Each structure stands twice: as C-alpha cells, then as structure tokens.
Structure 1
Amino acid sequence: METVNTAVTAPHRVRMTPAGRRILAAAERLFYARGIHAVGVDLIAAEAGVTKKTLYDRFGSKEQIVVEYLAGRDERWRALLAERLEAAGPAPRARALAVFDASRDWSAEHGAKGCGMVNAHAEISDAEHPAYPVITAQKAWMLGLFTELARAAAGAGAADRLGRALMLLHEGALVAHGLKVFPDAFETAREQARALLAAG
C-alpha cells in the first residue's frame, strides 16, 4: 500500500486492558451516535460497566478517550483500505477507484452518520485538543494517498490537481452519504472519479 508521510507527531496512546477495551467500545458507540460533547464520562462508565475511577485510571481524561476513539477508527479504516488496494491489483486507476468502493462498504457498516473525522472536527476546532492532530493527520494522509494514486495513474504533472479533485469527490460523498442528501453518493463520486482519471 502507498505510504504517506503526514509529518504529524503520533498522538499519545494508552495500553489497553480488558476494562479499557470495554470503556473504549462503549465510548466509540456513544461518541459516533450522539456526538463527543454530548457524551460524558458518567455515561461511558455506566455503559462499560465500570466505575469512573476505573475509567480515569485507564485513560486519565475524556480527551484521551476521544484520541483512542478516533485513532482506532483511523487504524481500522487504513487496514480495510490496505486490503482493498491490494485486492485491486497494480492498475493505477483500479486502485484509485477501490478507495471509493472501500468507503462505500465502510460507510454501510460503520458510517451511517457520515465521516467520524468530519463529525469530530465539527466539535473539536481547538488545535490544542489532543485529538485535533488525529483528525487533521487522517485527512492529510488521505490527500497524500490520492495524490500518489493520481501520480501513478496520470503522471507527476497531474498528480496534485487530480489528487485534490479525487479527495474532494471522496469527501463530498462522505458528507452526502451521512446527510442522506441523495442515494448512491459513493457510486456517483466513483463515476466522476473514473471520468477524471480517464481524462488525466
């Protein structure tokens, strides 16, 4: 899979225990369904079947739970995407289109309310928040990936322009899907991406 250097320092992560995994699983469900600010540590602890003391012992703060939630979601997305790019084979255009297919399938299972990173950014705009670099690095990584895929498909001269266009189509599909603006947002974006790739 393409490797993209985002030049962002990796966030601090915590070592997971069984209780930590229960807490994080509960937080992931609640944060995505209700929003980060709407969910307090009392509710997370209750859903996980632990005390607040255990929660703070494992994570230290709600902010660290948010970091783990977003970083974990990003890791799972990148793992799925690596599999899909590998399965797409060496053809550059097929690999670029595989990103849209992967997002369609990911969103069907994990993204009924749209992109978790976009949703989180709507609530976390403070660059000093420990989760902020996780959000921005994920999007920078995606742009880097699309740029590398565009370079392979159309050459260095078109890489930046085409990579940004593919990124815009992809992000637009994520938002349109989450807002249910129209059906088949990913298919629409994929067809537009196919046309752009064909034109170079």
Structure 2
Amino acid sequence: MRPNKRDELVRKSLQVFYRDGFHATGMDKLVVETGVSKTSMYKHFRTKEELILAALRLRDETFREDFLSRIQELADTPAGQLLASFDVLREWFQQEEYRGCLFIKAGAEYQEGDHPIHKQSAEHKQIMLDYLTDLARRAGARDPEHLACRIQLLQEGAIVTAVFLKSCEPAQEARAVAQVLLDSALA
C-alpha cells in the first residue's frame, strides 16, 4: 500500500532531522527537502515540534523493530541477546549514513525535562532499558536492573564514541566489557 502524504512527509523529515539536526532545520528547508508544499505541511502539522514528535515516534518504531529482530536473529538465549546487541550496534555504526542516535540528539537540543521532545526521547531510552532488564532477568542475573543499566550505559557510550571516532570499534570494546559484567552477574 502506498504511504499517505503525511507518512511520506514524516519519513522524509526524519531523514533531514537525522542528517542536519532539529534546530538547524527550519520549515522552509523541510519544504525544499521533502518536496511538500508549506500549505500541505501545515495542514498535517501545526508546528515543527509536532513534526519532530511524529518523526521521533517513527524512528522509535522502526529502530526497535529492526534492532530487536536483528538481536534475535543473532542469538537465541537472553544472555546471548544482551551481547548480540553490541554486534547489532557495530552493524549500525558501519552504515554509511550513521550519524549517531536521533534520541540523544533530540535530548541534547531540547534539554528541558518537561519538553515533549525531551520526554519522547527519554521514553525511547526507557523502553530500551526495560527490554534490557527483561533480557537480564530471563538470563538469570542476580540484579537484572543493575546489569541492564550498565549494559545501556555501555551501549550509549559506544553510540556517541562511534560518532566522534568514525569507528565501529567502540561496539566491540563495549561488548567485551558487557561480557565481563554478564559473567559477574550470572556467577
């Protein structure tokens, strides 16, 4: 089924926001980049912030779907899936268009904790933490919440480091540390 105009606008805007950032991308730029008229854009979204929130929701949905399904393809045990998450990060870092995490960017550009864009970004990170906690619990970790927090911290650090170093190596280094943490949590 062909995506409707609104969905297409969100998808194209997501690409622009990911590439150029949120504050640096005005509605005029989005009109040019997406090929959607300003009238049509404002018909679907009253403000740029509404469009950003829609783009973040789309990114959350597609990222989690791709990320989690790839983890399950690589490992069939919860402990293996915790470690495989770093392999999936490494694959992501190797992509030509990799520019880091859109949610980290959004949280940095909209730092007020009660701002809807900041809250949307924090919600994504919480969902990912809940997923890791569930994996840690199913793996048999003594303190699954603690292990999941540490794993997420390693993931987030690898994501940021990969942007600055233009390297996929942070994923491998973080995986090695995660292995030590996992071994300790399961002992």
TM-score, shorter chain, exceeding 0.5:
yes
User: How far did residue 25 of structure 1 move?
Assistant: 3.0
Deviations 1:9-62 (A, max 9, x none): xxxxxxx96332332233212211111001111110122222211101012211
Question: Contact 1:113 / 1:178 at 8 angstroms: preserved in 2?
Answer: yes
Question: Contact 1:154 / 1:197 at 8 angstroms: preserved in 2?
Answer: no
Q: What is the one-letter code of the residue matched to 1:196?
A: L
- 1:179-194 to 2 correspondence within 5 Å? 179-180=164-165, 183-194=168-179
Q: Point out the more displaced range, 108-117 or 171-180.
A: 108-117
State yes or no: 1:164 paired with 2:143.
no
- 1:31-180 to 2 correspondence within 5 Å? 31-109=17-95, 112-155=98-141, 157-180=142-165
Q: Runs (4+) of structure 1 moved beyond 4 Å? A: none
Q: What is the one-letter code of the residue matched to 2:158?
A: A
Where 2:148 maps in the other structure, the secondary structure is helix
1:9 corresponds to which residue? Answer: none
Where 1:112 maps in the other structure, the secondary structure is coil
User: How far did residue 187 of structure 1 move?
Assistant: 0.9
Q: What is the one-letter code of the residue matched to 1:131?
A: I
2:183 corresponds to which residue? Answer: 198
Q: Distance in 2 between matches of 1:111 and 1:189?
A: 22
The TM-score with structure 1 as length reference comes to 0.82
Where 1:131 maps in the other structure, the secondary structure is helix
The TM-score with structure 2 as length reference comes to 0.87
User: How far did residue 101 of structure 1 move?
Assistant: 1.8
State yes or no: 1:23 paired with 2:9.
yes
1:3 corresponds to which residue? Answer: none
Q: Distance in 2 between matches of 1:106 and 1:182?
A: 11
User: How far did residue 182 of structure 1 move?
Assistant: 5.7
User: How far did residue 148 of structure 1 move?
Assistant: 1.7
Question: Contact 2:78 / 2:138 at 8 angstroms: preserved in 1?
Answer: yes
User: How far did residue 109 of structure 1 move?
Assistant: 3.1
Structure 1: runs of 5+ lacking an equivalent: 1-15
Structure of higher RCO (CA pairs closer than 8 Å, 6+ residues apart): 1
RMSD: 2.2
Q: Distance in 1 between matches of 2:96 and 2:44?
A: 25
Question: Contact 1:41 / 1:62 at 8 angstroms: preserved in 2?
Answer: yes
User: How far did residue 94 of structure 1 move?
Assistant: 0.7
Q: Distance in 2 between matches of 1:178 and 1:119?
A: 12
